[in-house]
Amino acid sequence: MISKSAFVKPNTLSKAIILTGLFGISSCSTAIPDKVVKESSPTVAAAKVSVAERVVALTSLSADITYRLNPKKLVGVAGSTLLSKDQNLNNLPKVSENRTPPNLEKIIALKPDLVVGAEGMHDQILTKLRDLGIQTISTKLDRWTALGELTKTLATSINADPTVLLKSYEGKFSSKPTKTAATLIIASEQPLLAPNSKSWAGDLLTQFGVKNVVADLQGKSAFAGYLTLSPEKVVEINPDVVILINAPGTDINKVKSNPALQQLKATKQNQVYIFDYYGLINPGSLDSIDKATAQLQKIYQ
């Protein structure tokens, strides 16, 4: 659900911090996630809101999309390792640094008429901004179609044409894989977390027509779209392909050496792949999404 308001509600870290950032989810603006977008609700779609001229984006993905739609309207961003790689975005005023919450005073000082944040991550500050009469968009990205919905919502909000961006998304899954290898994504080692079909990562596999071995499983994980697996369950599943996530603060070599993984046919057949956290787990930016989808395409062709 995209919630749009003003008048409408439309790196070594502790494991606890990493997991909260990873799956709590998709925040950010900082080095940890971007909680991104679901499809528009009828209420949002029917809402009449003024066109924004000054946008502050609290997530790296919303900043990236807004800048590509109309760079003149993006006036502030949150500190992000992804945005720091883009000189244009890195030079914009920052309303937070690293993993600190966005600063309300800094946001207000930029005189925005629209602030875009992440559901679950920025709820409190977006509420305060709405109370001040500033339009907000709260986003959540847990499936591929949500990327297009977010793009269209932002384009409508700033009176921009999303056609070029939307067309760039269309070809990502035009070539279906020739392999149907049973695949397990391991997003975290302790605990062993795997995305099911209700997550961004899981839905990307679905879009490619790849078999996600835990797609329909439900677990007791505190992170929506993810389930916790025991080492024994991983061995029982015994997937053809394993994808390991190189997340902030992760020692990927330690993950690879997990005894359970050593027993899998994927490991024995050299079918273990390393993906960056941005793109597959947290969308992060359009470039990181491009890299993740290109890497998936290469594995399954």
Torsion of CA 72, 8, 156, 204, to 10 degrees: 100
| 189 and 161 assigned to the same domain | no
| Residue 80 lies inside a defined structural domain of this protein | yes
| 160 and 194 assigned to the same domain | no
| 12 and 54 assigned to the same domain | yes
The pLDDT of residue 2 is 57
Q: Which domain holds residue 292?
A: 183-300
| 134 and 16 assigned to the same domain | yes
Question: Predicted confidence band at 269 (pLDDT cuts at 50, 70, 90)?
Answer: very high
Tell which wins on pLDDT, 128 or 28. 128
For residue 83, what is the DSSP state? Answer: G
How many helices (H) and strands (E) are present in the chain, helices listed first?
Answer: 15, 10
Q: What pTM did the predictor assign?
A: 0.84
Instruction: Name the nearest CA neighbour of 276 among 101, 51, 33.
Output: 33
| 88 and 233 assigned to the same domain | no
| 164 and 213 assigned to the same domain | no
Structure tokens at 163: 């056609």
Instruction: Name the nearest CA neighbour of 61 among 289, 276, 248.
Output: 289
Q: Is the pLDDT confidence value at 236 over 50?
A: yes
Mean pLDDT of the chain, nearest integer: 83
Instruction: Name the nearest CA neighbour of 248 among 1, 28, 9.
Output: 28
Asked if 59 contacts 27 with a C-beta cutoff of 8 angstroms, the reply is yes
Unique residue bearing structure tokens 């006036």: 75
| 230 and 292 assigned to the same domain | yes
| Residue 177 lies inside a defined structural domain of this protein | no
pLDDT tens digits along 41-100: 322 322 345 899 999 999 999 999 999 999 999 999 999 888 888 888 989 999 998 778
